[in-house]
């Protein structure tokens, strides 16, 4: 733009200088008339006015260009600012979504662990209840002849062992009468058998009561397990 101003000034100076130079060269032979001087002055005024107009237009174009460049710069700055705001919002939204996903995954894992623990507890409880029902049913079942005989034999064996231990601890040689000894042993065995039978009856009654209570609480009519 400055180069353009200099060009205009140089052109105007040449326009003014060339006629004056020509007239100066010829001034030795001929002097300038009033009309010629008037024309020269007019041309100088016109050239000056044109230069002012050119300078005014050039200044206006420069100001317009500067205004356009400033507007473009502001638009670009605003676009960059809006883009940065949008990117920041997207980043925050992505981080929030990731945080929510982690929280939901942790909550699902915790719930799965609670469900597993609860399922294991229920499983153990059901197994214990089943084992208790089976035990109660086994106690409530009448004994067979073989089982009764085995219990009587076990009671007799315990009585004999107790008698032997009593003899060894006391060191006495009593019970010389073999018949009395056998009767005592039979009495002890009979007492042990009665005690065992009474214990079985009590256990059976207890099992039946527990079974009735279990049926009433669960609403089950019969255990098919």
Q: Please give the structure tokens belonging to residue 47.
A: 């050239």
Assigned domain for 128 exists:
no
Assigned domain for 221 exists:
yes
| Domain identity same for 6 and 75 | yes
| Domain identity same for 82 and 162 | no
Count up the domains in the chain and report the number. 2
Residue that is last in its domain, among 63, 92, 121:
92
Assigned domain for 7 exists:
yes
Assigned domain for 98 exists:
no
Q: Given the structure tokens 């065992």, which residue do they identify?
A: 196
Residue that is last in its domain, among 92, 117, 135:
92
Assigned domain for 110 exists:
no
* Ordered per-residue pLDDT tens for the chain, 225 residues: 444 555 555 555 555 555 545 444 444 445 667 888 888 888 888 888 888 888 889 899 999 999 999 999 999 999 999 999 999 999 999 999 999 999 999 999 999 999 999 999 999 999 999 888 888 777 766 666 777 677 778 877 887 887 777 777 665 454 445 556 666 667 776 776 677 677 677 777 777 777 777 666 665 444 444
Q: Please give the structure tokens belonging to residue 4.
A: 């353009």
Nearest to 199 by CA among 156, 155, 160: 155
Assigned domain for 212 exists:
yes
Burial (CB < 10 A; 0-12, 13-18, 19+), residue 137, is: middle
* CA atoms of 205 and 223, how far apart (whole Å): 18
Question: Which domain covers residue 57, as residue numbers?
Answer: 2-92
The pTM is what?
0.36
Residue that is last in its domain, among 33, 59, 92:
92
């Amino acid at each position: 733009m400055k180069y353009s101003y200099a060009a205009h000034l140089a052109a105007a100076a040449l326009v003014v200088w060339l006629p004056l130079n020509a007239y100066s060269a010829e001034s030795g032979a001929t002097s300038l008339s009033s009309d010629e001087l008037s024309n020269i002055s007019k041309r100088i005024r016109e050239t000056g006015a044109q230069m002012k107009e050119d300078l005014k237009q050039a200044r206006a174009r420069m100001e317009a260009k500067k205004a356009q460049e400033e507007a473009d710069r502001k638009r670009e700055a605003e676009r960059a600012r809006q883009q940065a705001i949008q990117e920041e919002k997207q980043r925050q939204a992505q981080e929030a979504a990731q945080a929510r996903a982690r929280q939901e995954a942790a909550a699902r894992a915790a719930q799965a662990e609670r469900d597993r623990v609860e399922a294991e507890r229920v499983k153990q409880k059901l197994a214990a209840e089943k084992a208790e029902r089976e035990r109660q049913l086994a106690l409530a079942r009448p004994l067979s002849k073989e089982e009764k005989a085995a219990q009587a034999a076990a009671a007799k064996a315990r009585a004999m062992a107790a008698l032997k231990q009593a003899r060894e601890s006391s060191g006495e040689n009593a019970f010389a009468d073999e018949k009395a000894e056998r009767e005592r042993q039979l009495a002890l065995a009979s007492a042990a058998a009665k005690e065992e039978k009474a214990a079985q009856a009590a256990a059976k009654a207890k099992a039946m009561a527990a079974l009735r209570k279990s049926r009433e609480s669960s609403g089950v009519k019969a255990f098919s397990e």
